[in-house]
Chains A and B, each alone.
Chain A
Amino acid sequence: MRPIATTRSASGTPTGRLAVWWVIASEIVIFGGLLASYIMFRLSHPEWAEYASHTNTWIGAFNTFVLLTSSLSAVLAHQAAEAGNGKKAAKLLYWTMLGGITFAVVKGFEWNMEISHGFTISSNGFWSFYYTAAGLHALHVIAGVVIMGIVAQTAKQNLELHRVELIGIYWHFVDLVWIFLFPLLYIAK
């Protein structure tokens, strides 16, 4: 049973959403620390531009496209949930999950290709950051897909519809991180 505490809202923001903002705040500093380190190294090692030229911009761009589109379906799911249409929200969440899965699968192929060309995580600093940053992000994508599956399952029965918004906000944040990873890892050459 849910405690009364959970239903109160002294700050004016519903508890669930407030918590998601705090999660995102703590995620900003995790990715922030990693990316700040990357940028420092990148600026002090001009030769990394050469290493970076082996990344495939088109795959990166395709994945950006996939994530942006999945963000659209996530926000549409939120809209449907607000309108009380749990079925539609669930369906849109499934589309979002499909986007996340596509992203992960493409990433898998991309890495497989790069590793087979000899660009492994220990090749040099650039590739270490490439795999670590994108890997940390991919873990967030996979976690998002799993949670979204659970949320969609309850939303389908018109239960806990506020969760659709919560997972949506998280998903947009994951999208946002990728928006910065894409130029940092692929475009800057």
Chain B
Amino acid sequence: MSEHAHPNYFKIWAWLLVLLSISVAGPMLEIPVVTLITAFGIAIVKAYLVARNFMHLNVEKKYVVYLLTTMVVFMLLFFAGAAPDVMNQEGDQWYKPKVEAEAAATPHH
């Protein structure tokens, strides 16, 4: 580990801050698509920068990257399996009646 040249950590930090400002500024345009990109697209870029340079995944053994990616893929799989029931309001032969409007209207204790 000690042989490789270190990236300039300050530079990466500066980039992260720039990206942070963009993600905060994005919603001010009030265009949903732009917000989506500035919020989540930039989160992915930030995560990539941190994982690659701060966690040193760029010089770590490849199987570690595969391991972590596999975990993320499992979560996508979970999402794909659960979303048809949890996320939808209706499906094949079932629907969720609108109880929620009432529940939201009643004050919570």
Within 8 Å by CB, do A and B touch in the complex? yes
What residues make up the interface of A, taking CB atoms closer than 8 Å to B? 11-13, 21-22, 24-25, 28-29, 32-33, 35-37, 39-41, 43-45, 47, 57, 61, 64-65, 68-69, 71-72, 74-76, 79, 82, 122-124, 165, 168-169, 172-173, 175-176, 179-180, 182-183, 187-189
Whole-angstrom distance between the Cβ of A179 and the nearest chain B Cβ? 5
Residue positions of B touching A, CB distance < 8 A: 1-2, 6, 9-10, 12-13, 16-17, 20, 23-24, 26-27, 35, 38-40, 42-43, 46-47, 50-51, 53-56, 60-61, 63-64, 67-68, 71-72, 74-75, 78-79, 82-83, 86-89, 100, 104, 108
Query: Given contacts A29-B74, A72-B13, are A183 and B20 in contact (CB under 8 A)?
Result: no
For chain B, what secondary structure do more than half of its interface residues adopt (helix, strand, loop), or is it mixed? helix
| Interface residues of chain A: helix, strand, loop or mixed (majority) | helix
**Shortest Cβ-Cβ A-B pairs, 3 listed:** A32-B75, A183-B39, A28-B71
| A25:B67 contact, CB within 8 angstroms | yes
| Complex partner residue of A172 from B20, B35, B50, B67, CB under 8 angstroms | B50
